[in-house]
Amino acid sequence: VWVPPAPCLLRENNQEMTCEGFSLARHPVTNAQFKAFLDATGYHPPEKHPYPESFLSHWNKGKIPKNKEDHPVTWVSYVDALAYCEWARLTLPTEWLWEKAARGPDGRPYPWGTTKPTKKLTHYKASNTSPVGRFSETRSPYGCEDLIGNVSEWCQLSQDLDAMPSEIPEVDLTPPLKNSVVRGGCFLRASDRAMLAAHRRMLSVTRRNQWVGFRPAFIGSWCAAES
């Protein structure tokens, strides 16, 4: 979905910024979409990536769990997410672009407005993920869904609020490993604070778990896929 250039409010102190327009996937990448990437590329995580056994550890011998095709893919690291984006001729958004897409031009605390989260509004206080798109009535002002609830999402770390992301950033897997940032409260979260669109967490770029996925961004002509 298109997120036009316009002023917006970011961070918990509502700092104003304006950036160029960009596009962000309506939903996080699903298991089915990630499998299409694996089938097309034969991707395996880099040899230096620690804990290779954690990659898609919820799948069974390369097969998606039953009835989970439309659930967000999890047990993928920042490195794995970038590999998918490179194949798709896309990239990961910076955390500030992600937040802009979630909070809209008015700086709302949640994508749907000011109402505190409930299980009718988003998928949280749960034991597992849910299919994407179940809560389309509470999409962000620009049309993105599942930004809060379901899974948290890998983003590129950036100090500049108005910076556009690197195309496909290089990731150094030599210890000590660096961190990146994840955005969006996930299905495991219960506190109102953790569900705020301004909430952020730092994780190692090689961390994989059951509550972090990702959604790609389209930034300018360099992302365009070859015909």
Which DSSP string corresponds to 88-115? TT-BPPBHHHHHHHHHTTTT-SBTTBSS
pLDDT of residue 155: 98
Angle in degrees, 0-180, between the axes of helices 78-87 and 31-41, rounded to the nearest 10: 70
pTM, two decimals, is 0.95
pLDDT of residue 81: 98
Tell me the pLDDT tens digit for each residue of 142-152: 999 999 999 99
Dihedral of CA atoms 44, 49, 51, 53 in degrees, nearest 10, equals 0
Q: With a cut of 70, which residues of the chain have pLDDT below it?
A: 221-227
pLDDT of residue 73: 98
Q: Coil, strand or helix: which one is 134?
A: coil
Tell me the pLDDT tens digit for each residue of 151-187: 999 999 999 998 888 789 999 999 999 999 999 999 9
Whole-number Å distance between alpha carbons of 91 and 170:
12
Whole-number Å distance between alpha carbons of 119 and 156:
29
Dihedral of CA atoms 9, 27, 46, 227 in degrees, nearest 10, equals -100
CB 137 within 8 A of CB 175: no
pLDDT of residue 221: 55
